[in-house]
Amino acid sequence: ADVVHENKRAAVFSWITGLFSASHVLGNVLARFLPQNYIFVVSIALLIFCPVYMQFFLVETVKLAPRKNQELGFCTKVVKVVNRRYKSMRNAAEIVIFSPTLRGITIVSFFYELGMSGISTVLLYYLKAVFGFNKNQFSELLMMVGIGSIFSQV
């Protein structure tokens, strides 16, 4: 968001969510064509590849603040980092809790995702129990849903 002009941020976020859906489709394609023994190994390899790629090939746009307290001990640094993270999470939670709009969005999102995950889990279980779906049929079904999601989000 810091390198995109404000007028184009909505379009960029739609592309990002579209690419996120494309990654789900790619995952389902891999699950469809890989033998079952290799799916976990390939997913771990891709999971490791992503941060390595980001570290070496993406340019950081945020300027780091000058380092302070370089002479502090390891335990003190760890405690300070944990304390900062706690305060950050607490501030974020307070913003959501005390803002009626954000609180409403959070509640709606939570129950929407809860319902959708429940429906999709029951549907996948039903397809396996009644029709005997295997991993290839599940991945084909999820690929179709993902492709529709790509077009609707982009």
**What b/e sequence results for 82-106 when a residue is b if at least 16 CB atoms lie within 10 Å of its CB, and e otherwise?**
eeeeeeeeeeeeeeeeeeeeeeeee
pTM score: 0.53
Give me the helix-helix angle, 135-153 and 100-131, nearest 10°: 150
Q: What is the pLDDT of residue 83?
A: 93
Ordered per-residue pLDDT tens for the chain, 154 residues = 567 788 888 888 888 888 888 888 888 888 888 888 888 888 899 889 988 988 888 777 777 767 665 666 778 888 888 999 999 999 999 998 999 998 998 999 899 888 888 888 888 888 889 999 888 888 888 888 888 877 877 6
Q: How many Å apart are CA 89 and CA 39, to the nearest integer?
A: 34
Q: What is the reported pLDDT for 152? A: 78
Q: What is the pLDDT of residue 67?
A: 67
23-59 burial code (b ≥16 CB/10 A, e <16): ebbebbeebbebeeeebeeeeeeeeeeeeeeeeeeee
CA distance 152 to 146: 10
Q: So what's the pLDDT on residue 1?
A: 57
Task: Quote the CA–CA distance of 134 and 25 in Å, as a whole number.
Answer: 17
Residue with tokens 């849903």: 145
What is the per-residue pLDDT for 86?
Answer: 94
Q: What is the pLDDT of residue 71?
A: 66
Which residue has 């379009």 as its token pair?
11
Q: Which residues contact 97 (CB under 8 A, 6 or more apart)?
A: 103
How far is Cα 73 from Cα 48, in angstroms, rounded to an integer? 30
Pick from 24, 17, 14: which is nearest to 142 by CA? 24
